[in-house]
A = this chain, B = another copy of it.
Amino acid sequence: MTMRWSNWDRTDLAVERAAMVRERTGEVPGLESSQEHINGIEITRVQVSTPYAANQVGKPPGRYFTLECPELKYRNRTLLKNVAQIIARELSELAGLPKQNDVLIVGLGNWQATPDALGPRVVSQLMVTRHIREYISQDLGQRLYPVAAVSPGVLGITGMETVDIVKGIADQIKPELIITVDALAARSPSRLFSTIQIADTGIQPGSGVGNKRPGLNRESLGVPVVAIGVPTVVSGASIAIDVLTDYFSKFNPHARPTLGSVQEFLSEDLMDLLVTHKDVDMQILEMSKLLASAINKASQPAISEDEMLDYLQ
């Protein structure tokens, strides 16, 4: 996540961008969505099939899976387990886990900035196995799939584009698949820590018009890249727009201001702000456990939960 808001409607969620473009222009050819509900969990699949649709939505062509579950932030253990199971299954389908050859998990973001630390936190809880298969008992070794993991840091700390670091590592170890994990920005605060997105398109750092920074995707890295992300922040400007929109919708729908007039008065100060959950430290910790558990399940299907706990201790 690059925490700099270039535009008011910054969101990394395809599901939100698809809704925005539909609201603006109606149905878009090449943009398809479907929904499914399971016990308070809503799953949306967005498919962007054409360059035209990609341009309208502002996201590259590909498949975007979104799980939404408002109860998630209350951290009920049974619910967390169900959600981890669904995410694991989706990783099997969308990413084809497990792989016979190396999978590289990349924890994006800055572990010294709380709302941006999700990726590195997940990496620190993964079952990393690439280096041990030959050293452990034959029985266990044969059931293990090779996983490597790295938290490359962020541009401001390394002086290097993340894609360069990951490309370099990928060229060395030649993984069959790369999975990135990142904190995202959403448009709507109701998404915070309650939505999980998986995309087979990789990830575009600081996405948005005019941003020329290279993405982490099959094109740049040479292998399939699946991106998992969870919104941890909303921009101050998003909140402002929401409030005005809601207000006029309710009290004076005909006088609803144009986006232009709204943006005009949004102060520069709002750009330096972020909106997050009041328990952001705890939410990041819990979500990192959930994602690590889902990735571990998906990448090591032959390892029982008990064996995994033993290993990870």
Contacts and interface: CB of A to CB of B under 8 A. Distances in A.
Interface of A: 3-4, 73, 75-77, 112-115, 123-124, 128-132, 146-153, 155-161, 164-165, 167-173, 189-190, 192, 233, 236, 239-240, 243-244, 246-247, 250-252, 255, 257, 261-262, 265, 269-270, 272-282, 286, 306, 309-310, 313
Given A236-B239, A247-B262, A261-B251, A150 B128 contact: no
Contacts of A261: 251
A171 B171 contact: yes
A10 to B, nearest CB: 12
The 3 residue pairs across chains A and B that have the minimum distance between CB atoms: A168-B168, A130-B159, A148-B159
A83 to B, nearest CB: 14
User: What number of copies of this chain does the assembly contain?
Assistant: 4
Given A150-B165, A273-B278, A75 B160 contact: no
15 contacts: A4-B278, A75-B313, A113-B280, A113-B281, A115-B280, A128-B156, A128-B157, A131-B155, A131-B159, A164-B172, A189-B269, A244-B247, A247-B265, A251-B265, A273-B275
B173 A160 contact: yes
Contacts of A75: 313
Contacts of A148: 158-160
Contacts of A279: 3, 113
A239 B131 contact: no
